[in-house]
Amino acid sequence: MVASLYGIDEANQTIWVYLEHEEGRLAGVSLELLARGRQMADQAGWELAGLLPGHEVAHLSPAAFAQGADRVWLLEHPLLEHFTVEAYTQAAYQAILKGKPSILLCGATPNGRDLTGRLAVRLRSGLNADCTGLRLNQQTGVLVSEVSGFGGGILALIEAPRHRPQMATVRPGVFSAGEADPRRKGELVRLGVELDECLVHTRLIERLSGPGVDLTGTAVLVAGGRGVDGDFELLRELADLLGGEVGATRPPVDEGHVKRERQIGQTGVVCSPEIAICCGISGAFHFVVGIEKAGTVIAINSDPEAAIFDYADYCIVGDVHQIVPALVAALKQEGQAVPAL
């Protein structure tokens, strides 16, 4: 087995969270990881720290302290103004070798995945990707990561007992950020970082962003599957009346009826709406993990044996093309478009 660059004896009893940021704000997933990291650090009597690379980003540290960080390691350099995997990997690598954390947590975002893959190879540490749960064994200091495997058929608990840092990525929405405490204070530590411009092969030329949608925060989710037969306008009307958003299973996304950003599930978004209405969805494990945290689940399916009914609080057996229009008509008729939750 290849040894990591530093071992258990050298590692400090600290959990680091990589603080991803965009347009002057910390990413929601970083706040969620700080909240979960705080719980684990408290249980073990460890320190929680944020790793904050960027250019002129010190102003982001109070949000990390408010969310539970004891300390923020700040890495500032003009080459870190925009995320490039080369520069960020170099900077994070240098910081990790200085601070020697036992654990490094990172959002399973496109940039987070890119970064942690490279770091795991350089540090010879290994990486548990897309974890659905994390806990810390207080006696051994070993991170236990829950990962679904074999197409979702099993939940595997993975440990890397001999390698440091123990690294894991977690998708947005898996943990809750909870309440921040703006009065909480922490220590901001500036770390020197040496970056060689020649090693940075990518350059930001233009930044294009669409309207986008973040389903992780919606209170009402109206999700459609193959049974909707591509008629997502129907669901949009219902979602609008309820002040919610439309989501989908993978097949309608693959078929181009819905944008990828609206896919719910293991390879999509994990949501925690107060109400999820699942229309024409069979209830495959890969989808269900995306709505497991929903408050109330209402399922509409023409097949009374559909697995989705096992997860639903209210089960409606019938044709979605009849039931959804009837719901829409009823809501309109009563003039009681429910105010957004």
Ligand X SMILES: Cc1cc2nc3c(=O)[nH]c(=O)nc-3n(C[C@H](O)[C@H](O)[C@H](O)COP(=O)(O)OP(=O)(O)OC[C@H]3O[C@@H](n4cnc5c(N)ncnc54)[C@H](O)[C@@H]3O)c2cc1C
List residues binding ligand X (CB under 6 A).
Answer: 151, 225-227, 249-251, 263-268, 280-282, 284, 286-287, 300-303, 306, 319-321
**Minimum CB–partner distance for residue 267 and ligand X (Å):** 4
Kindly tell me which of 229 and 240 has the beta carbon lying closer to ligand X: 229
* Residue keyed to tokens 């460890």: 46
Residue 254 CB, nearest approach to ligand X (Å)? 9
Are the C-beta atoms of 311 and 283 separated by less than 8 Å? yes
Write the burial class of residue 236 (CB in 10 Å: 0-12 exposed, 13-18 middle, 19+ buried).
middle
Answer whether 182's CB lies under 8 Å from 62's CB: yes
| Residue 46 contacts residue 15 (beta carbons within 8 Å) | yes
**Nearer Cβ to ligand X, position 165 or 244?**
244
Q: Shortest distance, CB of residue 279 to ligand X, whole angstroms? A: 7
Smaller CB separation from ligand X, 14 or 282: 282
CB of 229 to ligand X, least distance (A): 7
Q: How far is CA 183 from CA 25, 45, 180, in A?
A: 18, 21, 9
Residue type, 262: R
In the complex, minimum distance from the CB of residue 235 to ligand X, in angstroms, rounded to a whole number? 12
For the bound state, the minimum distance from the C-beta of residue 208 to ligand X, rounded and expressed in Å, comes to 26
Q: Return the number of the residue (72 or 281) whose C-beta is nearest ligand X.
A: 281
Query: Which residue has 């995306």 as its token pair?
Result: 290
What helix, strand, coil percent values describe the chain, rounded to 5? 30, 25, 40
Of 274 and 319, nearer to ligand X (C-beta) is 319
Sheet containing 187-191: give its strands across: 128-131, 166-170, 101-107, 12-18, 47-54, 71-76, 187-191
Instruction: Please report how close the Cβ of residue 236 comes to ligand X at its closest, in angstroms.
Output: 17
CA angle 302, 307, 308 (to 5 degrees): 75
**What one-character DSSP code corresponds to residue 264?**
B
65, two tokens: 């302290």
Q: Which is nearer to ligand X, 102 or 249 (CB)?
A: 249
Q: Is the Cβ of residue 21 or residue 286 nearer to ligand X in the bound state? A: 286
Distance (Å, rounded) from C-alpha 224 to C-alpha 228? 6
